[in-house]
Amino acid sequence: MKVLKRQINKEGLFKELKRRRFYEKPSVKKKRKMKEAQKKKKVAMRRMRSSWHG
């Protein structure tokens, strides 16, 4: 059960469900998507750097 919860959380399923409960204005949606993209890019860069030192 713990593994399943972790996997669902990692995929962002709960966030998506919460987000879809209410209408999201296009401007807010765009800002959120940009923030998420920046976060993903930051994580990817961190992973890439750590693999160089490995």
Express each pLDDT in 7-21 by its tens digit.
888 788 888 888 889
Three-class SS state of 21: coil
pTM, entire model = 0.56
Task: With beta carbons less than 8 A apart as the criterion, state whether 14 and 20 touch.
Answer: no
Determine the pLDDT at residue 53.
Answer: 62
Residue 34, pLDDT above cutoff 60 = yes
Determine the pLDDT at residue 28.
Answer: 93
Distance (Å, whole) CA 32 – CA 18:
14
| Token pair of 6 as six digits | 């972790």
Nearest by Cα to 19 from 7, 5, 31: 31
Task: With beta carbons less than 8 A apart as the criterion, state whether 5 and 11 touch.
Answer: no
